[in-house]
Amino acid sequence: MTEALKKRIYNAIRSAVNVDPATIDPEKNLREQVNLDSMQFVAVLARLETEFNIELPISAMEAKTFNDFLAVLDGEIEKAGAVSK
């Protein structure tokens, strides 16, 4: 995953839940770090789906760490060829 792509993901997260992604430890539980409830997490997923014109699988809801989440997202972006926008 390129740094430009990560930046787009971070910006999408920031706009969905108003959290500075720089404060996120990629190895710790994402929801606990930023106090995301289920509805907020769905808002993040929806924002990312819109940003990259993809449909995330239900397994994205099971991602625990930020790195887990990035792996799911990266795979879906690659499958869809949705990197450019």
Q: What is the pLDDT of residues 47-72, one digit of tens each?
A: 889 988 999 998 888 888 888 888 99
Collect all residues with Cβ–Cβ distance below 8 Å to 41 and sequence separation of at least 6.
31, 61
| Confidence band for 84, pLDDT divided at 50, 70 and 90 | very low
Q: What domains does the chain contain, in order, with CATH numbers?
A: 3-80 (1.10.1200.10)
Neighbours of 75 (CB within 10 A): 15
Instruction: Please report, rounded to a whole number, the percentage of residues in the chain having pLDDT higher than 70.
Output: 95
Q: Which of 23, 18, 17, 37 is nearest to 66 (CA)?
A: 23
Inform me whether the pLDDT recorded for 37 exceeds 50: yes
* Dihedral sign for Cα atoms in the order 57, 68, 74, 15: positive
Residue in this structure with the two tokens 């997490």, named with its chain if needed: 41
